[in-house]
Structure 1
Amino acid sequence: MATFLIQRALSSVKAPKTLSRHLTTSAAAVTAAAATQTPPEAAPSSPFTFNDDANDNICIRSPRPQTTASSSYSSSVTMPMSFMTGSIVGKRFYKQVTTRESDDGIGWSVMLDYRTLKTPSKRPLKLPTLGLAKAIAAEWEYQQTDGIRPFTMPLMKLACTALERVPLTRPKVIEHLMKKFNQDLVFCRAPDDNDLTSDVHERQVEKIDPLLEWLNSEFGFKPVVYSSFFGGKQEDGLVKAVEDLLKKTNDCELAAIDAMAAAAHSLVIAIALFRGRLQIEEAIELIRLEEDVQVDKWGLVEGGHDIDIADLKVQISSAVVFLGLSRRT
């Protein structure tokens, strides 16, 4: 059902076929993950963490005092902080989900019945494009009557991050990303003189070296590969060039890059997705390269590897789709 709703939302705004396909893939992966597991207890490492100080109730607020004649009137819906943690936040209280242009004419809002959806910090969820608004509306439309499940709404979570956390913590976000750059997944190379790791080394040379060549041509510095668990050190010029790229991003772009880097354990893969060098399937293959070699050799563990794969598909594809839909054309 999620796939159908998202396809219908995107078709109404004539979204590009590639984004429509990736968003459908994301919805299918969300559904598969939700069907086989409980809400995740922790998200991948990221500087964006909402403190769950509030209760789990959804707040429906009115702009004016209630009266007997208008006791049922309310104009906005504010999600609790626990929305960002993955727990169920309350039963579905709305019947229809729509989108409309924001009151100031800049951006788009999501409406639950006649109420404007707000972020956990009680700000209107004002989205940059109609396509993104419709995609998030589809996530809300998919929710079941017995409870609202945030872990099936990755685009909503990314939107809250971009609107609330990035503007306040942009320097810290960039610092967090650059702190782990020297230990990036794509720079770590398995030894080729060991029977246990030679297969991995061969696959890395085949699949990752072309990405490193692209990184060299893109920024003008040849990356350093290493086999140490403690990592290595990239040239200062490469580090500065990547940092400068991050500083030039807007809030939605930086939120998407951070989400992709957290899921991939690789800022390079996140940047390659951001620049269009990698497609979703190619990125997932690189992220899972070492583990997939082990799966090919020893077999897949049901309830383990398959859940990890479904979750990774959700994290990467939703961030890529969010990035594409947030861009004004």
Structure 2
Amino acid sequence: MSAWTAKRFWKDVSVVEQDGSFAVQLDARAVKTPAKAPLTVPTRAMADAIAEEWRAVDKAVNPNVMPFTRSANAAIDKVAVQFDEVANLLAAYGGSDLLCYRAEGPDALVQRQCDAWDQLLDWAQDTYGVRLAVTTGIMPVAQDETMLNVLTAPLFKATPFELVAFHDLIAMSGSLVLALCVTQRRLVPQSAWDLSRIDEDWQIEKWGADDDAAQVIEIKRSAFLHAARFYEMSDTARQGRIG
């Protein structure tokens, strides 16, 4: 039963375990994705979050206010069926990582970037044995292909649910390294987001904030923080099969 575009008809929402995965039921009828696949997820924590979204439905289902359901649908309907294409798309960010592109000036901005980003490239080297090259300006810098393969390996080892989270962590920050820092708990998500915003925040400090731009930034920040939570809920090693 797919209730993704339905009006509310159910009274009870429950989570049930099915062969080590977890499903959400509406009056004992299993929720399905928009593509009619069973909406089964890897951890109870994720299932509980999805169930809460369905309990909160008032009159009609609104996907815009159901981020956990929406992300789970994407993992099942989209990423699982084209996993390699998505992983390769995200891996390309490693060759143009935000942390590797530094301002030519002013000196204060250059120093701010160095203070914030150098230690993260150090962490990547210590953790993965990979040292990314750094450049100034907008001219591309070539990264060692062997090193990139090592750095991007976690993408190809991820589950579809984890890769959905990786997508927003990388795309919203412009940095594979920052995404890895979040998933490996080197940084809390808000700190990683702030570190991705050094250039933009510098401009805001200088010229002031634009209200419309601020709304867009907040939407992206919320998506980034949600992706971090979704990744955490996707990790069966951290969550446990029952929690």
TM-score (structure 1 length as normaliser):
0.67
| Residue 113 (structure 1) shift | 2.9
Per mean C-alpha deviation after superposition, the further-off stretch among 210-219 and 93-102 is: 93-102
3-state secondary structure, aligned to 1:282: helix
Name 1:73's counterpart in structure 2: none
Where do 1:225-240 residues align within 5 Å?
Answer: 225-240=134-149
Give the helix-richer structure, 1 or 2.
2
> In the superposition, relative to structure 1, how do residues 121 and 101 fare at CA in structure 2: closer, same or farther (>3 Å)?
same
Q: State the distance in 1 between where 2:198 and 2:137 align.
A: 18
> In the superposition, relative to structure 1, how do residues 140 and 314 fare at CA in structure 2: closer, same or farther (>3 Å)?
farther
Bigger CA radius of gyration:
1
Per mean C-alpha deviation after superposition, the further-off stretch among 166-175 and 127-136 is: 166-175
Q: State the distance in 1 between where 2:73 and 2:64 align.
A: 14
| Residue 90 (structure 1) shift | 5.2
Name 2:63's counterpart in structure 1: 150
Cα RMSD over matched residues? 1.9
Deviation by residue 1:194-235 (Cα, 9 ceiling, x = unmatched): xxx433222111111111111111222321111242421112
User: 47, 69, 85: which is aligned to 1:172?
Assistant: 85
Deviation by residue 1:272-299 (Cα, 9 ceiling, x = unmatched): 1111111111111012111111222222
Is 1:298 paired with 2:207?
Answer: yes
Name 2:21's counterpart in structure 1: 107
Residues 78 and 122 of structure 1 are in contact (CA less than 8 Å); yes or no, is this contact kept in structure 2?
no
**Counterpart amino acid of 2:199?**
E
> In the superposition, relative to structure 1, how do residues 214 and 137 fare at CA in structure 2: closer, same or farther (>3 Å)?
same
Deviation by residue 1:38-91 (Cα, 9 ceiling, x = unmatched): xxxxxxxxxxxxxxxxxxxxxxxxxxxxxxxxxxxxxx2253xxxxxxxxx454
4+ residue segments displaced more than 4 Å: none
Is 1:320 paired with 2:240?
Answer: no
Is 1:241 paired with 2:154?
Answer: no
Residues 199 and 293 of structure 1 are in contact (CA less than 8 Å); yes or no, is this contact kept in structure 2?
no
Q: State the distance in 2 between where 1:96 and 1:115 align.
A: 10
| Residue 240 (structure 1) shift | 1.4
> In the superposition, relative to structure 1, how do residues 267 and 96 fare at CA in structure 2: closer, same or farther (>3 Å)?
same
Unaligned runs of 5+ in 2: none
Where do 1:1-329 residues align within 5 Å?
Answer: 76-79=1-4, 89=5, 91-102=7-18, 105-145=19-59, 147-192=60-105, 197-305=106-214, 307-328=215-236, 329=240
**Counterpart amino acid of 1:204?**
Q
3-state secondary structure, aligned to 1:180: helix
Residues 103 and 136 of structure 2 are in contact (CA less than 8 Å); yes or no, is this contact kept in structure 1?
yes
TM-score (structure 2 length as normaliser):
0.89
| Residue 100 (structure 1) shift | 1.8
3-state secondary structure, aligned to 2:141: coil
> In the superposition, relative to structure 1, how do residues 78 and 129 fare at CA in structure 2: closer, same or farther (>3 Å)?
same
